[in-house]
């Protein structure tokens, strides 16, 4: 994490446009930033779905070319979707949470003015989060590719009882696993599905992944923390209708012999936080670690 004295000039707004009554909130944020001297545009799908007018409308590629900041309003799911699109453009992201405190959308909606004003002037904390990328190979050909900020999940079909997976890391065969599935998570994703499956929390400053079995048939199959420099191969050995999910992108009905390959992405996501932001404070609030403290 580091501080960079940068004064922003053109911001794009991305919103959870399915949320009821979000249009006035988005417009309030837009007018506030304009009052601070910024040019403001809206992400195309956000503008169309909410009916916001009077602002330039940009798709993610155009946002990457013309904007120097993206303000994301919603929850962690909204942030995940746009972060994958904007990571390749190195566009910094600020998350404003419209509901409960999120892990990566950390500014409460009722405090956005106090938080955004100094950040837009260049007073903020910056961190870079690693990503996963890869795809599915069948008979030597790639049939699917994906990019993830959180995780890659290989899991059994809805009607199947279990899936058997072969796990290779680099040139090493690691294990054959019979389970409901397997989660390969980045440090960011270690507080998502991997955590609910019993995995550890990885600080985002760690250059690693966590590999977590989902309801393993063998109790000795435990979560393991891996360095993120080797490619991970997950091969479908047995089981029907298995699927591979890269965050919100999925491929269902995998066949025996199909292989999910995952490596560290060359792209990273840039997150900006208010000065004084703490990863540990986020964990404490989100996971309610303060309970019992007087």
List, for residues 136-186, the tens digit of each pLDDT value. 999 999 999 999 999 999 999 877 789 999 999 999 999 999 999 999 999
Three-state DSSP at 46 gives helix
CA triplet 122, 126, 131: central angle to 5 degrees? 140
Q: How far apart are alpha carbons 56 and 47 in whole angstroms?
A: 9
Q: Residue 6: which pLDDT band, with cuts at 50, 70 and 90? A: low
85 and 143 assigned to the same domain: no
Structure tokens at 232: 């991970």
pLDDT at 62 over 70: yes
Domain contains 294 = no
Active site residues per annotation: 76
* % of the chain surpassing 90 pLDDT: 85
Q: Give strand pairing partners of 159.
A: none
Domain contains 291 = no
pLDDT at 3 over 80: no
Using alpha carbons, select from 228, 230, 234 the residue that is nearest to residue 137.
Answer: 234
191 and 234 assigned to the same domain: yes
Q: How many separate domains does the chain show? A: 2
63 and 187 assigned to the same domain: no
Provide the domain limits for residue 66.
10-123+275-286
pLDDT at 5 over 60: no
150, 265 in Cβ contact below 8 A?
A: no
Q: How far apart are alpha carbons 8 and 93 in whole angstroms?
A: 12
30 and 135 assigned to the same domain: no
Domain contains 67 = yes
pLDDT (0 to 100) of residue 4? 47
Domain contains 292 = no
Strands (E), 4-84: 10-15, 39-43, 56-58, 69-74
pLDDT (0 to 100) of residue 293? 60
Strand pairing category for 172-179 and 163-169? antiparallel
Domain contains 3 = no
Residue identified by tokens 């909130």 is: 25
Q: How far apart are alpha carbons 293 and 52 in whole angstroms?
A: 45
Three-state DSSP at 140 gives coil
Q: What is the pLDDT of residues 111-145, one digit of tens each?
A: 999 999 999 999 999 999 999 999 999 999 999 99
Domain contains 293 = no
Answer left, alpha or beta for residue 292, where phi above 0 means left and psi between -120 and 50 means alpha: left
74 and 187 assigned to the same domain: no
Looking at residue 117, which CATH number applies to its domain? 3.40.50.10330
Structure tokens at 154: 């290989």
Answer left, alpha or beta for residue 68, where phi above 0 means left and psi between -120 and 50 means alpha: alpha
112 and 175 assigned to the same domain: no
16, 45 in Cβ contact below 8 A?
A: no
Q: What is the pLDDT of residues 183-212, one digit of tens each?
A: 999 999 999 999 999 999 999 999 999 999
Q: What is the pLDDT of residues 226-249, one digit of tens each?
A: 999 999 999 999 998 899 999 988
Rg of the chain, C-alpha, whole Å: 20
Using alpha carbons, select from 267, 261, 217 the residue that is nearest to residue 238.
Answer: 217
């Amino acid at each position: 994490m580091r501080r960079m004295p940068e004064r922003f000039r053109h911001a794009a707004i991305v919103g959870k446009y399915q949320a009821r009554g979000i249009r006035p909130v988005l417009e309030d944020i837009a007018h506030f930033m304009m009052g601070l001297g910024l040019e403001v545009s809206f992400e195309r799908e956000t503008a169309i779905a909410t009916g916001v007018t009077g602002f330039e409308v940009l798709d993610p590629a155009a946002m990457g070319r013309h904007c120097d900041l993206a303000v994301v309003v919603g929850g962690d799911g909204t942030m995940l979707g746009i972060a994958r699109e904007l990571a390749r453009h190195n566009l910094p992201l600020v998350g404003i949470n419209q509901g409960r405190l999120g892990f990566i959308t950390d500014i409460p909606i009722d405090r956005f003015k106090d938080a955004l004003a100094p950040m837009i002037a260049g007073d903020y904390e910056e961190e870079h989060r690693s990503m996963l990328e890869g795809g599915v190979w069948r008979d030597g050909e790639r049939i699917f590719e994906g990019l993830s900020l959180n995780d890659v999940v290989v899991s059994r079909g809805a009607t199947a009882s279990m899936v058997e997976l072969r796990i290779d890391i680099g040139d090493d065969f690691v294990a054959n696993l019979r389970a409901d599935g397997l989660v390969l998570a980045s440090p960011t994703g270690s507080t998502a599905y991997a955590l609910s499956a019993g995995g550890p929390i990885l600080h985002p400053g760690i250059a690693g992944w966590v590999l977590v079995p989902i309801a393993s048939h063998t109790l000795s199959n435990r979560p393991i923390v891996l360095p993120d420099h080797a490619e991970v191969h997950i091969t479908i050995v047995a089981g029907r209708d298995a699927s591979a999910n890269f965050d919100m992108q999925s491929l269902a009905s995998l066949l025996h012999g199909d292989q999910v390959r995952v490596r560290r992405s060359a792209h990273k996501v840039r997150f900006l936080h208010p000065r004084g932001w703490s990863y540990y404070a986020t964990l404490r609030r989100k996971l309610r670690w303060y309970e019992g403290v007087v």
